[in-house]
């Protein structure tokens, strides 16, 4: 038994379920059953939500050497300890970009970390 997903749109539109070519209408400002694996057309946009959500994790993975590009972000993973409490902080950045970590509290102290590059 699958999940029960709903959709609400500020625009009218239509959808076509790809498996059996069933077509239906997407009503404006109403909550309707979301049809997975269906082509939705609304507000001059098209989209498909292919499958149900799956549980997973979000993390940083290394890019294989043959897939690296000039402007890929780099990652810095830090273990920060304050008053005996340790937490791992992950920050992304690269040449020409700066991203700050969310503010975190470790051992009662507040931290925010940034990664940027400077040519030497």
Closest CA to 105 of 78, 79, 84, 87: 87
- Percentage of the chain with pLDDT > 90? 43
Query: For 22-74, how does the pLDDT look when each residue is reduced to its tens digit (9 = 90+)?
Result: 999 999 999 999 999 999 999 999 999 988 878 888 778 888 999 988 878 88
User: What is the pTM (predicted TM-score) of this model?
Assistant: 0.47
Q: Is the pLDDT of residue 2 over 60?
A: no
Read off the tokens for 90: 């992950």
Q: How far is CA 80 from each of CA 22, 70, 98, 104, 108, rounded to the nearest angstrom?
A: 55, 30, 20, 10, 12
Query: For 62-118, how does the pLDDT look when each residue is reduced to its tens digit (9 = 90+)?
Result: 889 999 888 788 888 889 898 999 988 888 877 777 677 778 889 888 888 877 776
Taking the domains of the chain in order of start, what are their residue ranges?
6-48, 72-115
């Amino acid at each position: 038994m699958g999940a029960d997903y709903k959709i609400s749109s500020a625009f009218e539109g239509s959808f076509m379920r790809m498996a059996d070519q069933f077509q239906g209408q997407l009503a404006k400002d109403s909550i309707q059953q979301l049809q997975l694996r269906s082509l939705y057309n609304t507000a001059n946009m098209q989209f498909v939500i292919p499958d149900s959500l799956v549980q997973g994790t979000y993390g940083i993975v290394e890019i294989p050497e043959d897939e690296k590009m000039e402007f890929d972000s780099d990652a810095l993973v830090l273990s920060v300890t304050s008053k005996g409490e340790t937490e791992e902080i992950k920050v992304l950045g690269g040449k020409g970009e700066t991203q700050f970590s969310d503010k975190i509290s470790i051992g009662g102290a507040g931290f925010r970390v940034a990664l940027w590059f400077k040519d030497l």
